[in-house]
Amino acid sequence: MPDRYSARADIILLDIEGTTTPIDYVFGVLFPFAQKQVESFLQTHDRDSGVQADLKRLQQEYAADVTQGLTVPAWVDDSATAAIPYIHYLIASDRKSTGLKSLQGKIWESGYRDGTLRSQLFPDVKLAFERWTREGKRLYIFSSGSVQAQKLLFQYSEAGDLTQYLSGYFDTETGSKKEAESYRKIAQAIGILPRQILFISDVTAELKAADVAGMQTLFSLRLGNRTLDSEGFSVIDSFDNV
Ligand SMILES: CSCCC(=O)C(=O)COP(=O)(O)O
Ligand SMILES: [Mg+2]
């Protein structure tokens, strides 16, 4: 194993689930919280314009699922609560849907603010953020979770508020994490060449897309991760050597 990986990258772009944060926290805490709270949240916030926009997106996704012949729970009328069975289904199937992720971010906000939620990060994350920043690197996030959810996760973490180390956030509004075009757009938005960016993720399809776009890549093999096969990408099990 080299002493340090990709020390020549100016920008470090990080996935969240399976890279900075245990998969267990997302599946065992965040998703059940959203499942439990979605009904009361929609009853209270169904008139908010942001929530209405999320529901409209979800309704379009539902229509596309039905057209494709997928077996999905019925969305029976135009009331906000009629969306609940479909939302439960999407959460249970871990659909990386922009509408769902946006809604989840809004639901998690109250949990973070009242102290019910505190996000978990791997123990080396804070030290690496401090070190990379000292070295003059800039840190960005690219996650399927909404930008709002990403900011909350790093603000209300068990290691404290780490948002001061992050220069920006990208979610699937930029595009799918499995499409090379999304990584080109990110490089363009940051104003740097793709090859100056190191992307770290636990999902090889995401690394392949970043690689096609010309980014440097590392496969994150963290405790509790589901994918163990790096498919030839260089592997790290912590940020200590990056
Ligand atoms: C931003 S916290 C919520 C994480 C989430 O909802 C998710 O789908 C994680 O996806 P990632 O792309 O970070 O693996
Ligand atoms: Mg991930």
C-alpha span between 201 and 15 (Å, rounded): 5
Ligand 1: which residue has its CA nearest to atom 10? 144
Closest ligand to 34 CA? 1
Ligand 1: which residue has its CA nearest to atom 7? 145
41 has pLDDT over 70:
yes
Per residue in 189-211, pLDDT (tens digit) is 999 999 999 999 999 999 999 99
Q: In what helix (H) or strand (E) does residue 183 lie, and over which residues does it extend?
A: helix 180-190
Report the sign of the C-alpha dihedral through residues 18, 21, 27, 31, in that order. negative
The CB of 17 under 6 Å from ligand 1? The reply is yes
Rounded mean pLDDT of 51-58? Answer: 96
The CB of 15 under 6 Å from ligand 1? The reply is yes
Give me the residue spans of the domains in the chain: 11-21+119-236, 27-113
Rounded mean pLDDT of 125-136? Answer: 97
- In CATH terms, 11-21+119-236 corresponds, of 3.40.640.10, 3.40.50.9100, 3.40.50.1000, 3.40.50.720, to 3.40.50.1000
C-alpha span between 116 and 113 (Å, rounded): 8
At residue 5, the 3 state secondary structure works out as coil
Question: At the top level of CATH, which class does the domain 27-113 belong to?
Answer: mainly alpha
Q: In what helix (H) or strand (E) does residue 169 lie, and over which residues does it extend?
A: strand 166-170
* pLDDT for the residue 1: 46
Q: In what helix (H) or strand (E) does residue 141 lie, and over which residues does it extend?
A: strand 138-142
4 has pLDDT over 70:
no
10 has pLDDT over 70:
yes
219: nearest Cα among 230, 227, 208: 230
> How confident is residue 78, by pLDDT bands cut at 50, 70 and 90?
confident
Tell how far the Cα of 5 is from the centroid of ligand 2, in angstroms: 20
